Amino acid sequence: MSEQQHATTDDTDVTSEKLVELAKRRGYFFQSSGAYGGVGGFYTFGPQGAALKGNVEDAWRDRFAVAEGNMEIDAPTIMPEPVFEASGHLEGFDDMLVECSECGASHRADHIVEDNTEYEDAESLPIPEVEEIVAEYELVCPACGAGLAGQAVETFNLMFGTNIGPGDSDPGYLRPETAQGIFVEFPRLKEYARNQLPFGVTQIGRAYRNEISPRRSIIRTREFTQAELEYFVDPEDDEPDLEAVADVAVTLYPASEQNAEDGSEIETTIGEAVEEGIIGDEWVAYFLGVAKPWYESVGVDMDRFRFRQHLSGERAHYAADCWDAESEVDGNWIEMAGFAYRGDYDLSKHEEYSDDRFTIFKQYDEPKTVERATVDPDMSYLGPEFGGAAQDVVDELEALAARDREAFEGDTVEIDLEGETHEIPVEKTGFSVDEETIAGEHITPHVVEPSFGVDRLVYTVLHHAYREDEVDGEERTYLELEPEVAPTFVGVFPLQNDDDLEAVADEIVADLRAAGLSVTYDDSGNIGRRYRRQDEVGTPFCVTVDYETVEDEETTVTVRERDTTDQKRIAVDELAETLSAIRDGDLAFEEL
């Protein structure tokens, strides 16, 4: 059963075509509804893919929810229209669409520019400039080859609309991100956090975007899974534990280097990047430091990984700073996660549009005596003077007193009402400045958001794990998946179709499953073919029950390691404990 390993092909030689073919053949992922011709942008994760994806999600949950002490919720995927009016998605969640006048095919204009010119971030450019580039480079329709110069580039909203309820139903939308499900529940979630900042809320779930041109298998789809953390902080008092991540080495591609003619990536540490001002926000820096080793732990190749800062044109208007975690796949960099400082934009917007309060009461260490300007207008004067607009005048006076008490120092005070200026005698406003003792104040928390794309990460992990080599003169394809995320941890084989061997193999399968290990049983074909099948789906270890197992005085089995194909004999009664220790990182196979 011994194997001799020979040359290994560098994993960077893998092409997407090879990976997609393996994924379909071995049950990782494939286009949905194939029996009906398939539908663009929707993929089914098969048995191996669903297990890998679930393991990645569990690993994310362990690190970003459990280890950080954050809550997790599971909100609906359909939400009413007012939610997305408040969030800005109805007006600003658009991509650039260009339609071919010859064949009628629709394409993302920025993608056509990026694929055929030296422009790398066309998404950040204004539409008129994109139209000029299309004309200057004489770009053509990818479907039929017709010229696109002169065709209008328009905005296209990516949200999937639906109706909630029958008849005169209420409009709703499938969520384009999981974040809004957290933000709208903030008034209740803050109670679960005992109204104490900082606190974090996580969610792993589906999101939907009606992409103009989904492409590259599960890299850009219309339905996908996000793992998001919304971390609520007091911007004045809360600081991250930067010391915990200060020494984490990172590859950064800041905006300044992207804009420079000879700009390049920077090798540094989180601590140095903060000290030198490369990363402007300490909370963003902290989560970059947490994320980098986690990405490595699930199998992302650190030689093909970086954090890229958003350029000003691509950064959301509410984000003070934003960095993407990117991986290199087939020579292209793809976004796997975004780390944004969102300020108080989200909570302020939902408070403005809803009937609830999205603030937290901040208790002072000691009560404070403050001066507060107030008005108590004489309605016997305002009523006859302004009629139905009298309450609007009161509202304007209250707002003015809060922001500019000096406006009331003269005999009259000016206010603007529907574009007209009105003078009101100060004596009729009831203006006064009084001292008041207060125990605290209501503040709107700021939000730090690490947002992970699970599907793209799964693709990256598979791509970076793909290997080709030779074993015993035969070509072998295998996935060097980390044991933590591999769909199956161990395969169990009887060497031959023999009742005694199969009985022992069945007992081993039961024992390993009872120990919490994911196990597959395979008795089909010769032992070499069974090894190859498990190698190709990334199973780290294979256990073979042979005649030595049933004939020798000491009951042992052969354990084979996937990457090196090395084999060792281990006592059956120690097998579950040994493999569990290897899976948990407490023991190395080489130490056996």
Q: How far apart are CA 351 and CA 227, in angstroms?
A: 25
Query: Residue 6 has what pLDDT?
Result: 41
- pLDDT of 1 > 50? The answer is no
Domains in the chain: boundaries: 11-73+176-359+444-479, 94-156, 365-440, 488-591
Instruction: Specify the CATH class of 11-73+176-359+444-479 in words.
Output: alpha beta
Residues with Cβ within 8 Å of residue 326, at least 6 apart in sequence: 253, 305, 306, 307, 308, 333, 334, 335, 336
Confidence band, pLDDT 50/70/90 cuts, at residue 9:
very low
- pLDDT of 7 > 50? The answer is no
Buried b (16+ CB within 10 A) or exposed e, 65-84: beeeebbebebebebebbbb
Query: Residue 330 has what pLDDT?
Result: 87
Higher pLDDT, 11 or 499: 499
Confidence band, pLDDT 50/70/90 cuts, at residue 394:
very high
Confidence band, pLDDT 50/70/90 cuts, at residue 418:
confident
CB of 513 within 8 A of CB of 490?
no
Rounded (10°) angle between helices 47-60 and 454-465: 110
* Average model confidence (pLDDT) across the chain: 93
* Dihedrals phi, psi of 208, to nearest 5 degrees: -140, 130
Q: How far apart are CA 150 and CA 138, in angstroms?
A: 10
Secondary structure class of 41 (helix, strand, coil): coil
Q: How far apart are CA 492 and CA 83, in angstroms?
A: 51
- pLDDT of 10 > 50? The answer is no
> Which amino acid is present at 123?
E
Peptide bond into 198 cis (omega under 30): yes
Instruction: Give the angle 163-164-166 at the CA atoms, nearest 5°.
Output: 90
> Has domain 488-591 been given CATH number 3.40.640.10?
no
Residue 386 half-sphere exposure, CB side, CA atoms within 13 Å? 23
442 DSSP β-pair partners: 361
Q: How far apart are CA 80 and CA 184, in angstroms?
A: 11
Query: Residue 457 has what pLDDT?
Result: 98
Query: Residue 5 has what pLDDT?
Result: 45
* Dihedrals phi, psi of 167, to nearest 5 degrees: 60, -130
What mean pLDDT do residues 153-169 have?
88
Buried b (16+ CB within 10 A) or exposed e, 523-555: beeebeebbbbbbbbbbbbbbbbbeebeeeeee
Q: How far apart are CA 184 and CA 87, in angstroms?
A: 10
- pLDDT of 440 > 70? The answer is yes
Query: Residue 3 has what pLDDT?
Result: 58
Confidence band, pLDDT 50/70/90 cuts, at residue 4:
very low
Q: How far apart are CA 18 and CA 12, in angstroms?
A: 12
Token pair belonging to 237? 């008092």
Confidence band, pLDDT 50/70/90 cuts, at residue 378:
very high
Residue 397 half-sphere exposure, CB side, CA atoms within 13 Å? 27
Query: Residue 552 has what pLDDT?
Result: 83
